Structure 1
Amino acid sequence: MGATMVKPLVKNGNILDALPSQGTLHVVMLGLDSAGKTTALYRLKFDQYLNTVPTIGFNCEKVQGTIGKAKGVHFLVWDVGGQEKLRPLWRSYTRCTDGILFVIDSVDAERMEEAKMELMRTAKCPDNQGVPVLILANKQDLPNACGAKELEKLLGLNELHNYATPPNKSVLNSCSSSSSNSNLINGSVSNQSITESSLSVHIKPNLSDQSDEKNTSAFLQYDTHKYKDSGEESTKKCFQNIKQDNYNKTASNTTFRGWYIQPTCAITGEGLQEGLDALYDMILKRRKLNKSHKNRR
């Protein structure tokens, strides 16, 4: 999704605002067409929903992290069109980038294999080896959206392990991630309505030790009179989200893999800032690993 053929970087006649400042991280946002890339970009930029049209070309915006380690950090995000004819251009944007945001339509099971193929092609490109990949599992507000664990299998993310870490395994093992920031993926959701929507959810953070179904009402609040799904299916969906949250927390405390799954809803912005924080954490860990690797030579 997107806006115009090439979105101008200059706004209000101030060209300086368009130039990357010192310390700005360069990130490319990829994914199949209609995955919600541009919606996510402008939600991050303006913190509001903007109606978009398919991107023919690219959009570029500087966004800022607002939570966790990424708070105050600037990211120059290049959102590249996802139509099949544009995908050969992705390689030009990923070269020398600090991180890759790959947006997935969590509901579109029919195109999951296609998304996997493009993700693997991008991540395994020689120019991109070692570049952290954040998978934004978009459209989590919709019924039947795949959870993080399911997406890991469908996208074959275990295949990326050897491509996203330095070749020196001793360095990798000595730099295992023991992140003290438990809010990388905390599952907190604002009580913001989704365009005439649907679902109002509030999940309390730190649910890793509370997964029994008897505790559902303590964690989840549903606007059931608006939600079209049945109550039973709604409850099932809620528990999928809780398990997904717990899965990501466990994953964040394991050895650096170079990829991370963040459940999101681009329309409301839920999970996007958490995603930037997770990406920034991976970038820092990659730099630390590279530095350690160089020092051991």
Structure 2
Amino acid sequence: MCCCGCQGCFVLTENITFSCFFHSSLPRSAVTVNCAVCVFPQIIKKKSWLTVFVSEHKVIIVGLDNAGKTTILYQFLMNEVVHTSPTIGSNVEEIVVKNTHFLMWDIGGQESLRSSWNTYYSNTEFIILVVDSTDRERLAISKEELYRMLAHEDLRKAAVLIFANKQDMKDCMSAAEISKYLTLSSIKDHPWHIQSCCALTGEGLCQGLEWMTSRAGLR
């Protein structure tokens, strides 16, 4: 049972002390996941001693400026909205989901920085492309950047998660519309998944992480 009394949780691993974001540490006999009250309780913050026992997967988070990349990263890490400014260079955080360790690089998306994205590609296993679902005018640029990345030798084995962000906004494009415009169905050499989300509330982010975790288990 979860610390909040939720009956929907289940024991993942024994003999681990775990702290969720809304409650105090659980007993040393249980780690719980998928609680409806404890949002993202399966995410263990960086520098946990548990990282010694898990595999590491490099992730790059890319997208145009103001798409919501950094907000998503810190929702993953802290389960809260963090005030952000345009990223110059990159932010990097370590996140463990279940028994899978992700090293996430959030890379600045301003036009002047996109030419340097390829310096982060080496050993990347997952690409998270964040799309602003309200930014119809620049969707063509997102498409161009996506296919440029997929053609790069260092990313030939990378899986792609597309977050259709800002789904809470009026007149936003649906994930299906974005998928059609990006012609995702034409991508045959890379596993891909598109997920509707709202970075401010965290809605949809857990589902995206679950897809990545399942893919990581196949590697």
Specify the TM-score bucket, using the shorter chain as the normaliser.
Answer: 0.7 to 0.9
Aligned pair partner of 1:273 in 199, 206, 217: 206
Higher helix share: 1
Report deviation, 1:37.
Answer: 0.2
Equivalenced residues, count:
172
Percent sequence identity is 41
- Structure 2: gaps (5+ residues): 1-45
Secondary structure of the corresponding residue to residue 208 of structure 2: helix
- Residues 18 and 62, structure 1, Cα contact 8 Å, conserved in 2: no
Aligned AA (2:125): D
Mapped to 2, the partners of 1:155 and 1:18 lie a distance apart of 38
- Whichever residue aligns with residue 262 of structure 1, its letter is Q
- Hey, what's the Cα distance between the residues in 2 that align with 1:156 and 1:77? 26
Which residue does 2:124 correspond to in 1? 97
The aligned counterpart of 1:234 is none
Q: Given that residues 26 and 99 in structure 1 are in contact (C-alpha distance below 8 angstroms), is that contact kept between their aligned partners in structure 2? A: yes
Shift in Å, 1:126: 2.0
| Cα distance in 1, alignment partners of residues 85 and 137 from structure 2 | 22
* Matched AA of 1:276: L
Greater fraction strand? 2
If the length of structure 2 is used for normalisation, what is the TM-score?
0.73
Provide Cα deviations, 1:125-182, integer angstroms capped at 9, x if missing partner: 1221131000011101111221222111111212321x32xxxxxxxxxxxxxxxxxx
Q: 2:81 aligns with which of 42, 46, 49?
A: 49
2:216 to 283, 287, 290: 283
* Per-residue Cα deviation, 1:261-289 (whole angstroms, up to 9, x for no partner): 0111111111112101112222334x2xx
- 2:34 corresponds to: none
Q: Post-superposition shift, 1:92? A: 1.7
Offset at residue 18 of structure 1 (A): 9.1
RMSD after superposition:
1.9
The answer to whether the aligner puts 1:131 opposite 2:158 as a matched pair is: yes
Is the CA contact 2:124–2:154 (under 8 Å) kept in the aligned structure 1? no
Work out the CA distance in 2 between the residues paired with 1:18 and 1:97. Answer: 22
Q: How does 1:25-174 map to 2 (within 5 A)?
A: 25-65=57-97, 71-161=98-188, 163-164=189-190
Q: Which has the larger radius of gyration?
A: 1
* Whole-Å separation in 2 of the counterparts to 1:23 and 1:127: 20
User: Could you tell me how far apart the structure 1 residues matched to 2:57 and 2:160 are?
Assistant: 14
Aligned in 2, Cα 1:25/1:116: closer, same or farther, shift over 3 Å? same
Instruction: Give TM-score scaled by structure 1 length.
Output: 0.55
Q: 1:99 deviation in Å? A: 0.7
How far, CA to CA, are the matches of 1:33 and 1:74 in structure 2?
A: 27
Equivalent in the alignment of 2:47? 17
Q: 1:260 aligns with which of 189, 193, 196?
A: 193
